[in-house]
Amino acid sequence: MARFAFLLLTFCTMACSALPAFQSVAPFAQAAQVAGAPGAGGATPTSGSGRPEPVTLWQDAGIFRLVAGLIGSARTRVLVEMYELGRQDLTAALGAARARGVAVRVITDPTVKASRRSTGVLDGLGVPERVYPVDDVRHQIDHVKLLITDGEAVVGGMNWGAHSQRNHDYALETRAPGEVERLVRIFDQDWERAGGHPAPLAVARSQIAQTAPGEEIRAMLEGALGDARQRVLAEVYTLTDPETIAGLAAAHRRGVLVRVLLDPNQPYNRHAFAMLSSSGVEVRWYPIPKGALLHAKIGLFDGQLVLGSANWTLSGLDVNHELDIETRDPHAVAAFGSRFDSDWAKSGGG
């Protein structure tokens, strides 16, 4: 019953829509970067053997340097599934990849105007594209943000919108073969569904989780919350799911350090802020510049980092098609922990 009590409320927060053209917020895009990420001007983390670590955490505008580089260097394939696709430089890059013989396929959401415009551009460039068949009755969207090129993939919360680089957000680049293979299978599942041949994958427990089909992300999130014994650090665009709010409060009651940063411009977060505060959970509003969003959907549970497209809402965990990834990579965990501490220090209370 708790889920349905907030159903109408959370339907209003399903989409992370495009921002209007506000004043420039370049200083925000150039703020402190995730430690060790190429987007920060550093080197890709390496193991003791000198080989690259299987994952790298990226953030903010640096995500677009990663994405452009991967598309530009792809030699065999580029697979994209994107809720909001509105950047002309990236649609042009996809066309250029197609022109040099790379197998390119793109899936978009039909409810976003910028994505609809981009599909027309892609058609003109000869790029195969399909529109995900969302369930209008359930107010569903295809909220996935996924890029696969050759032997690696990028999963996160960052849209490819015209102004998305202003937002505070994260993405995980993975080179782990098993994770990339699972992501390819999910893309193929969605491609076939968009082509009128639905064949949903069986529910699986892995580092990759999807919603609709299944509730893998909810299971991943609830499992991480329930297992946490030391700390839970979260940055969330929209938090309204009653079970998740209850899980955060329960973690606090058993002695876990729980800290949550929320976007102050989302009115739907006010209830969560009040509920968490009254439960003793430390919660603050993230100080976002004008024209930007705290667009992240990320949580650190002891040494387990969970991030992706799913807001912590009924829509994100039960209705929309969403995609999340988890990692225990020490570089990624330390990088997020450092950035969270910085974000927390500059954030205010109620």
pLDDT at 137 over 70: yes
Q: How far is residue 69's CA from residue 250's CA, in Å, rounded to a whole number?
A: 43
Q: What CATH architecture is 33-41+51-194?
A: 2-Layer Sandwich (3.30)
pLDDT at 39 over 50: no
pLDDT value of residue 52: 57
Q: In what order do the strands lie in the sheet with 129-131?
A: 55-59, 170-174, 152-156, 145-149, 77-82, 103-108, 129-131
Pairing of strands 145-149, 77-82: antiparallel
144-199: per-residue pLDDT in tens?
999 999 999 999 999 999 999 999 999 999 999 999 999 999 999 999 999 999 99
Task: Delimit the domains of the chain by residue range.
Answer: 33-41+51-194, 211-345
Q: What is the mean pLDDT of residues 17-40?
A: 34
- What count of other Cβ atoms lies within 10 Å of the Cβ of residue 334? 18
pLDDT value of residue 34: 52
> What is the percent of the chain where pLDDT is above 70?
84
Q: What is the pTM of this model?
A: 0.87
The amino acid at residue 167 is N
The Cα-based distances of 245 to 11, 51, 60, 180, 260 in angstroms read: 17, 40, 26, 31, 11
Residue 7: which pLDDT band, with cuts at 50, 70 and 90? very low
pLDDT value of residue 292: 95
Q: Which of 31-35, 202-206, 232-236 has the highest mean pLDDT?
A: 232-236
Of 40 and 128, more confident? 128
CATH number of 211-345: 3.30.870.10
Say which residues have a Cβ less than 8 Å from residue 152's Cβ, sequence separation at least 6: 70, 173, 174, 175, 180
At 245, which helix (H) or strand (E)? helix 242-253
> What is the percent of the chain where pLDDT is above 90?
83
Q: What is the mean pLDDT of residues 270-298?
A: 97
Say which residues have a Cβ less than 8 Å from residue 175's Cβ, sequence separation at least 6: 52, 54, 55, 151, 152
pLDDT value of residue 13: 42
DSSP string for 18-37: PPP--S--HHHHTSPPPTT-
pLDDT value of residue 348: 76
pLDDT at 316 over 70: yes
pLDDT value of residue 32: 33
Retrieve residue 313's tokens: 């809402």
pLDDT at 294 over 80: yes
pLDDT value of residue 169: 98
Spell out the SS3 assignment of 141-161: CECCEEEEECCEEEEECCCEC
CB 218 within 8 A of CB 211: yes
Residue 299: which pLDDT band, with cuts at 50, 70 and 90? very high
The per-residue pLDDT of the chain, averaged, comes to 89
> Range with the lowest mean pLDDT among 17-21, 137-141, 180-184?
17-21
Q: What is the mean pLDDT of residues 75-94?
A: 98
Same CATH fold assignment for domains 33-41+51-194 and 211-345: yes
Of 7 and 106, more confident? 106
CB 145 within 8 A of CB 82: yes
Of 117 and 26, more confident? 117
Residue 350: which pLDDT band, with cuts at 50, 70 and 90? low
